[in-house]
Amino acid sequence: DRTQGPACAIAAGAGTIYRNYFAIVNGQIGQSAKNQIDCLADIGAALGNCESRLWTMKNGYVLASHNGLSEISNRLRTSSESELDELRQLLRIGIQWNAQVTLNDCKHTVSQAYCSALPVAYSPHSFNLWVEFAQLVLEASYEATVCTAILNSVRNGNNRLFLTLLGGGAFGNKTDWIVGAIHRALNLYKHVDLDVALVSYGSSNQYVRQLVNQYGNTKI
């Protein structure tokens, strides 16, 4: 699977193994077909996804219905910024502190934030129905990741942060959604001393270059 997610997972393989087989999920050790990590559970509860009436979660993929997406879009479109922020705060991410890098004779460790965008390209429904929902998840994911980097810097003095284009490959999230979410997160914490690198998987991305140019000589 030559996509961005597996590449990041393999880079710190021990963390991925722990997430799949040893993380505590609903009181049980490890994930199984019927007991899986659901990082949208709290957002789903807030949006009224009882009995999976808006979407079902299968193997980490959000499988939304047409009516579900329409209802979510209308809800988010009419929400105030404070209401949207309350929803963003409900997104869960995974954090693996101090995972060993999967390279021969490599001694240093890294901390990884496990996030996921919505699988827009896997859906038979129009991209337009996904816009608000996908952007909310991207914004929450990047904000949480920046906060993780701040905590990591406090813990060990390392202020480096590498950001990938979350959901920009096989999941089909629009680049302007992703860049907008990154821009929002960086602006929220622009007074924090972070050394940020944007990673384009496979080749350079013009939208990323434009974002970098907006920050001039700052550390990005």
Q: Give the start-end residues of each E strand in 80-132.
A: 94-100, 109-114
State how far the Cα of 197 lies from the Cα of 158, in Å rounded to an integer.
13
State how far the Cα of 87 lies from the Cα of 99, in Å rounded to an integer.
30
Residues 141/117, Cβ–Cβ less than 8 Å: yes
All residue ranges of the chain with pLDDT < 70 are 1, 216-220
pLDDT value, residue 133? 99
State how far the Cα of 10 lies from the Cα of 4, in Å rounded to an integer.
10
Q: Which residues contact 167 (CB under 8 A, 6 or more apart)?
A: 116, 117, 118, 119, 120, 134, 138, 173, 178
| Number of Cβ atoms within 10 Å of the Cβ of 17 | 12
pLDDT value, residue 217? 52
Q: Which residues contact 78 (CB under 8 A, 6 or more apart)?
A: none
pLDDT value, residue 85? 98
Tokens, residue 168? 């920009």
- Measure Cα distances from 135 to 16, 18, 29, 154 in Å: 26, 29, 32, 29
Q: Domains in the chain, please, with CATH?
A: 4-214 (3.40.220)
**Phi, psi for residue 111 in degrees, rounded to 5:** -110, 135
pLDDT value, residue 218? 54
State how far the Cα of 137 lies from the Cα of 122, in Å rounded to an integer.
16
Residue linked to tokens 């965008």: 117
pLDDT in tens, 158-179: 999 999 999 988 899 999 999 9
For residue 76, give the amino acid letter.
Answer: L
End-to-end CA distance of the chain: 29
pTM of the model: 0.93
